């Protein structure tokens, strides 16, 4: 593997991990808001149990993605930084409100509801805007005005392709998070919350698949080069769709002790589904980072820097791995934590 | 041209706001750690309660520290794409390693806060230790990028191309150790003085209630002792920072001191305002020969004056005031902690006079002010360069025109978050008075955190 491929693979890995963690994070925030009014269910508590310890760790991943972009592909970062000034700033503003009010809502019990609404809604908007980075890299939205690259925000917001990405981001966020929370509720042995999240996942799964189809259809018209590339990876896409079916089955087959479905299997198959699809997307996207001007080759960093960075990745991973395992054991597996009220 | 000013204002505002929370994010965990250790040593539950309450405050502050830090990191690319292109090629390591420090901090702060009742006391202490190390390391690493801006190393520019990149030489650029050390010790010092401030204020408010008074007195003494030690280290290390300016960025030192003529036996100017026309510091106090001695430990050291540099490369002259403010506050706080220590441990007085208490209350805000002065001095004093003698700030800025609106949007968010954080902290500690903690801890004896 050449250095460039190694770099883009690491970057892809980070983006994928962030995408999954962020959907869980923002989705859990949304569900916690949606069910806050009903006193009958524990669904909000379940969402908060997931959210409280994880949101900081999730946030580090977005920083890691940004840092990986500018350390591996500095020239791409130049163009992205210039073009994304407005959407990037909007995301940052939303993120500031979202994180701040998420923390505040847990501390100020008298105003928990309004604060949760603010963080839930801002968090819900973030993936919808964040995903726009992808269609922007497909080309056609950047204009050169007096030597300065400028984003044509109007064309982005009216492009069916970009809008289908928005739909996809929103529905996937809600789909994946409800799936995960269903699993989490099962660990907590909270049947009522489980049924709610299982139902939500069953509704949202098909919506997310339809929006993925919509992306492919509009891509054919707006980014033919990419569509062509993805057709080379049709096999991966088909397997990905098959995994979606597996998730669906996992949610409806009868399980033990009167619990319908095997949510853990559903989480795993959905994870594989998204991994395969984004692998196909990522491969087809190569060699372009931003079509048609920035490729992985012409945007690449200095080789000496790359080697030093790569060594730091390995060392960092070895140091951090036990910490992640310990964290996982304490919050995702320990029933004492998950079951306990507040 | 106008856009450079707006971009600088926007970035400076972001950093000025982030740094308040970041500094406390480095300083408070150290105090929590010390409180935890004191609890293990003395078995006095007051220390456990302190650790618990400071952790709550830290959790709230993190809610602002993390998003504003994320803004800072992303804004670097959005506002200064030219700068970040160079950083990406040469100086990416500290950013990358910083990510690991963030992870360490984020994982273990969650463990400390949400799993405290399920882990052993030593695991808890290990967790806070890792939080402290993670926070300090992230500060040290990001400061390294700032150090690199002042003393770039590890690359050359040939025909506009970056060549001969040596990332580790860039990482260990000449001012890294001293600058990063300064930021770390000044953050520990500030955290301690802020704790002492709050404690002193609470003592003034609760003179009648002996138990509350004693509780805060313990916190005050901890703050003063830790703050005293670290303010002394800050001053020593700050002196080294100044010597490095003499060596590597002489025009910055000249601007800091309002020195125009290159000379040996140069005088140190304290206070006053630098006048560009008459080339002197007006209304200041001059200590003969002192600057030469400070710059390189000898009275005959030749200190370079501003006149040796083209005027277009002069830093703004008001940095003199910022530098004086920082050093003045530093010296004052050393004295203050020393006085508090003397009063309590040598003279063995159980209470402090009211005027001294109010000075303690002022200590925390003053330390924070010194942090702001220090950063604005360091960043503004580097102007017009974003990378000293390599890249002009004006060449690094984004080509986008519509920054003014963004400036107001971000400023509004910072005001909103700033007000909210104060209200949230006040609300929480009003709702959870010390008495409740005692009641709770008298009825249960195990586990610190409810
Ligand atoms: C509580 C905060 C605080 C206190 C009391 C001091 N400093 Fe400081 N100083 C900082 C907080 C700080 C800082 C915020 O951390 C800076 C800004 C950038 C940096 O590297 O550290 C800084 C920068 C800074 C610089 C500029 C470095 C550069 O431009 O690269 C010098 C020369 C000094 N300091 C010197 C001193 C001296 C002689 C002090 C005597 C007591 C002092 N500082 C106290
Ligand atoms: C955290 C405390 C910091 C504060 C309060 C601060 C403050 C400022 C201010 C006020 C400016 C505008 C300067 C001017 O135009 O006169 C500025 C510029 C800048 N600072 Fe800092 N800064 C801080 C830390 C850093 C760090 C750690 C870095 C490096 C990673 C950094 C990099 C820059 C850059 C790139 C600019 C923009 C270009 C320039 O004006 O030189 N700053 N900062
Ligand atoms: C340009 C300068 C800076 C950038 C780009 C920056 C970036 C960041 C980022 C991205 C975060 C959030 C980390 C997360 O997601 O968990 C953060 C938080 C933090 N930063 Fe800054 N920072 C800067 C300056 C500083 C300085 C000068 C200090 C120390 C004096 C500092 C200390 C911290 C601390 C302690 C936190 C809080 C919590 C944490 O580490 O997660 N930062 N910063």
Nearest to A93 among B86, B90, B409 (CB): B409
Whether residue A32 contacts residue A47, with contact meaning beta carbons closer than 8 Å, is answered with: yes
Domain chopping of chain A, boundaries: 3-338
Ligand 2 pocket: which of B12, B148, B378 to mutate (most atoms within 8 A of CB): B12
CA distance B46 to chain A (A): 22
Ligand 3 pocket: which of B23, B142, B188 to mutate (most atoms within 8 A of CB): B142
N-term to C-term CA, chain B? 56
Task: Convert the pLDDT of each residue in A129-164 to its tens digit.
Answer: 999 999 999 988 888 887 788 888 888 999 999 999
A104–B107 C-beta distance less than 8 A? no
Ligand 3, atom 15, residue with closest C-alpha: A60
How many of the other CB atoms lie within 10 Å of CB of B390? Answer: 15
Task: Check residue B33 and give its pLDDT.
Answer: 96
Task: Please give the Cα distance from A119 to A105 (Å, whole number).
Answer: 8
Query: Looking at the predicted complex, does its ipTM rise above 0.90?
Result: no
Kindly report the pTM of this predicted structure: 0.89
Distance B19 CA to ligand 1 centre (A): 14
Which residues of chain B does A337 touch, with a Cβ-Cβ cutoff of 8 Å? 114-115, 118
Indicate which of B92, B127, B134 best probes the interface with A, i.e. most A CBs within 10 Å of its own CB.
B92
Nearest to B398 among A81, A107, A337 (CB): A81
CA distance B364 to chain A (A): 23
Sequence-separated contacts (24+) of A329-337 with Cβ below 8 Å: A330/B111, A330/B114, A330/B115, A330/B118, A330/B119, A331/A53, A331/A54, A331/B110, A331/B114, A331/B115, A332/A184, A333/A187, A334/B115, A334/B118, A335/A187, A335/A188, A336/B118, A337/A49, A337/B114, A337/B115, A337/B118
Please give the structure tokens belonging to residue A222.
């707006």
Which residues of chain B does A84 touch, with a Cβ-Cβ cutoff of 8 Å? 78
- Residue B417: asked if its preceding bond is cis (omega within 30°), the reply is no
B103–A74 C-beta distance less than 8 A? no
The percent of residues above 70 in pLDDT, for chain A, comes to 97
Q: Which residues line ligand 3 (CB under 6 A)?
A: A 56, 59-60, 63; B 15, 18-19, 22-23, 25-26, 62, 65-66, 69-70, 72-73, 76, 102, 105-106, 135, 138-139, 142-143, 183, 187
A100–B110 C-beta distance less than 8 A? no
DSSP readout, B71-130?
HHHHHHHHH-HHHHHHHHHHSHHHHHHHHHHHHHHHHHHHHHHHSGGGS-HHHHHHHHHH
Whether residue A62 contacts residue A18, with contact meaning beta carbons closer than 8 Å, is answered with: yes
Task: Check residue A342 and give its pLDDT.
Answer: 43
Counts of helices then strands in chain A (DSSP H, E): 14, 4
Which residues of chain A does B426 touch, with a Cβ-Cβ cutoff of 8 Å? none
Output the CA angle A50-A51-A57, nearest 5 degrees: 105
Does residue B383 have its Cβ closer than 6 Å to ligand 2? yes
Does residue B26 have its Cβ closer than 6 Å to ligand 2? no
Residue of chain A whose Cα is closest to the Cα of B411: A93
Nearest to A327 among B75, B84, B107 (CB): B107
**Alpha helices of B381-403 — where are they, by DSSP H?**
393-396
A308–B168 C-beta distance less than 8 A? yes
Does residue B184 have its Cβ closer than 6 Å to ligand 1? no
A78–B71 C-beta distance less than 8 A? no
Task: Check residue B279 and give its pLDDT.
Answer: 78
* E strand or H helix that includes residue A289: strand A288-290
Residue of chain A whose Cα is closest to the Cα of B119: A330
Task: Check residue B443 and give its pLDDT.
Answer: 65
The percent of residues above 90 in pLDDT, for chain A, comes to 40
Distance A105 CA to ligand 3 centre (A): 23
DSSP readout, B122-155?
HHHHHHHHHHHHHHHHHHHHHHHHHHHHHS--S-
Residue of chain B whose Cα is closest to the Cα of A68: B96
Q: Give me the average pLDDT of each 10-residue run along chain B (450 residues).
A: 83 96 96 94 91 92 93 92 90 93 91 85 92 96 96 89 90 95 97 96 90 92 96 95 92 89 87 81 82 87 88 90 94 95 86 92 96 96 91 86 90 96 93 84 54
* Residues facing residue A295 across a β-bridge: A288
Task: Please give the Cα distance from B135 to B32 (Å, whole number).
Answer: 13
Which residues of chain A does B153 touch, with a Cβ-Cβ cutoff of 8 Å? none
Over range A314-329, report the average pLDDT. 88
Task: Please give the Cα distance from A108 to A101 (Å, whole number).
Answer: 10
Which residues of chain A does B88 touch, with a Cβ-Cβ cutoff of 8 Å? 70-74, 77, 301, 305
Task: Check residue A99 and give its pLDDT.
Answer: 92
A67–B95 C-beta distance less than 8 A? yes
Residue B143 CA: nearest ligand 2 atom is 27
| Residue-averaged pLDDT of chain A | 87
Task: Check residue B447 and give its pLDDT.
Answer: 45
How are beta strands A294-295 and A288-290 bridged, if at all?
antiparallel
CA distance A92 to chain B (A): 6
Distance B171 CA to ligand 2 centre (A): 19
Nearest to B88 among A70, A93, A109 (CB): A70
- Reduced to 3 states (helix: H, G, I; strand: E, B; else coil), residue A288 is strand
Task: Convert the pLDDT of each residue in A154-197 to its tens digit.
Answer: 889 999 999 999 999 999 999 999 999 898 888 888 888 888 89
Distance B72 CA to ligand 3 centre (A): 8
Q: Which of B365, B344, B337 is nearest to B230 (CA)?
A: B337
Please give the structure tokens belonging to residue B316.
């703004």
Over range A247-258, report the average pLDDT. 83
Placement of tokens 């004896």 in the chain: B445
Whether residue A142 contacts residue A154, with contact meaning beta carbons closer than 8 Å, is answered with: no
Task: Check residue A140 and give its pLDDT.
Answer: 84
A312–B115 C-beta distance less than 8 A? no
Task: Convert the pLDDT of each residue in A4-47 to its tens digit.
Answer: 999 999 899 999 999 988 988 899 889 888 888 775 567 777 77
Task: Please give the Cα distance from B347 to B352 (Å, whole number).
Answer: 11
CA distance B226 to chain A (A): 29
Task: Check residue A97 and give its pLDDT.
Answer: 93
């Amino acid at each position: 593997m050449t250095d460039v491929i190694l770099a883009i693979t690491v970057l892809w890995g980070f983006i994928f991990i962030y995408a999954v963690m962020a959907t869980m994070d923002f989705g859990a925030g949304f569900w916690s808001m949606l069910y806050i009014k009903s006193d009958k269910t524990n669904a909000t508590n379940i969402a908060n149990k997931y959210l409280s310890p994880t949101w900081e760790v999730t946030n580090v991943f977005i920083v890691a993605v940004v840092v990986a972009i500018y350390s591996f592909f500095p020239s791409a970062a130049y163009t992205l930084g210039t073009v994304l000034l407005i959407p990037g700033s909007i995301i940052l503003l939303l993120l500031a409100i979202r994180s701040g009010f998420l923390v505040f809502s847990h501390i100020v019990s008298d105003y928990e509801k309004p604060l949760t609404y603010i963080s839930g809604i801002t968090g819900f908007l973030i993936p919808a805007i964040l995903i726009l980075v992808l269609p922007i890299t497909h080309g056609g939205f950047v204009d050169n005005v007096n030597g300065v690259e400028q984003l044509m925000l109007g064309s982005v917001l009216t492009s069916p392709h970009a809008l289908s990405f928005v739909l996809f981001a929103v529905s996937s966020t809600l789909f994946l998070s409800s799936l995960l929370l269903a699993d989490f509720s099962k660990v907590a042995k909270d049947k009522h919350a489980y049924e709610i999240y299982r139902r939500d996942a069953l509704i949202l799964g098909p919506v997310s698949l339809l929006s993925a189809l919509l992306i492919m259809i509009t891509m054919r018209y707006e980014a033919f080069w990419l569509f062509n590339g993805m057709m080379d990876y049709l096999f991966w896409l088909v397997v990905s769709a098959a995994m979606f079916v597996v998730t669906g089955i996992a949610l409806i087959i009868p399980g033990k002790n009167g619990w319908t479905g095997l949510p853990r299997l559903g989480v795993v198959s959905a994870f594989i589904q998204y991994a395969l699809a984004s692998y196909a997307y990522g491969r087809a996207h190569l060699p372009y980072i931003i079509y048609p001007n920035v490729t992985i080759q012409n945007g690449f960093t200095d080789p000496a820097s790359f080697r030093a960075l790569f060594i730091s990745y390995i060392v960092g991973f070895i140091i951090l791995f036990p910490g992640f395992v310990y964290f996982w054991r304490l919050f995702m597996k320990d029933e004492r934590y998950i079951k306990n009220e507040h | 041209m106008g856009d450079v000013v707006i971009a600088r204002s926007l970035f400076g505002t972001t950093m000025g706001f982030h740094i308040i929370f970041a500094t406390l994010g480095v300083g408070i965990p150290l105090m929590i750690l010390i409180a935890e250790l004191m609890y293990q040593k003395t078995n006095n539950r007051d220390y456990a309660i302190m650790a618990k309450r400071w952790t709550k405050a830290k959790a709230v502050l993190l809610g602002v520290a993390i998003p504003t830090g994320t803004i800072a990191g992303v804004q670097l690319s959005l506002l200064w794409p030219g700068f970040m292109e160079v950083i990406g090629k040469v100086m990416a390591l500290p950013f990358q390693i910083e990510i690991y420090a963030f992870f360490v901090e984020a994982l273990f702060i969650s463990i400390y806060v949400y799993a405290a009742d399920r882990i052993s006391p030593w695991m808890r202490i290990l967790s806070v230790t890792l939080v402290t190390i993670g926070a300090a390391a992230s500060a040290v690493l990001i400061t390294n990028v700032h150090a690199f801006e002042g003393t770039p190393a590890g690359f050359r520019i040939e025909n506009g191309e970056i060549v001969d990149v040596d990332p580790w030489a860039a990482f260990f650029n000449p001012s890294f150790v001293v600058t990063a050390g300064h930021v770390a010790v000044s953050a520990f010092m500030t955290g301690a003085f802020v704790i002492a401030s709050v404690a002193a204020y609470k003592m003034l408010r609760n003179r009648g209630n002996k138990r509350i008074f004693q509780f805060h007195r313990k916190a005050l003494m901890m703050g003063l002792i830790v703050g005293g030690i670290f303010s002394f280290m800050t001053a020593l290390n700050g002196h080294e920072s100044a010597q490095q300016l003499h060596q590597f960025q002489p025009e910055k030192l000249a601007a800091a001191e309002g020195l125009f003529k290159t000379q040996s036996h140069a005088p140190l100017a304290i206070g006053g305002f630098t006048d560009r026309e008459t080339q002197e510091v007006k209304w200041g106090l001059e200590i003969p020969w002192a600057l030469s001695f400070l710059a390189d430990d000898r009275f005959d050291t030749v200190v370079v004056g501003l006149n040796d540099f083209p005027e277009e490369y002069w830093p703004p002259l008001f940095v003199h005031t910022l530098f004086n403010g920082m050093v003045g506050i530093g010296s004052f706080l050393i004295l203050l902690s020393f006085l508090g220590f003397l009063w309590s441990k040598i003279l063995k007085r159980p209470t402090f006079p009211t005027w001294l208490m109010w000075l303690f209350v002022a200590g925390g805000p003053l330390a924070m002010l010194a942090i702001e002065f220090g950063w604005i001095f360091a960043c503004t004093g580097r102007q017009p360069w974003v990378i000293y003698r390599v890249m002009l700030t004006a060449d690094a800025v984004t080509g986008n025109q519509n920054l003014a609106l963004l400036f107001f949007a971000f400023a509004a968010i910072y005001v909103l978050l700033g007000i909210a954080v104060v209200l949230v902290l006040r609300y929480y500690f009003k709702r959870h008075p010390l008495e409740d903690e005692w009641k709770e801890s008298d009825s249960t004896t195990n586990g610190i955190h409810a």
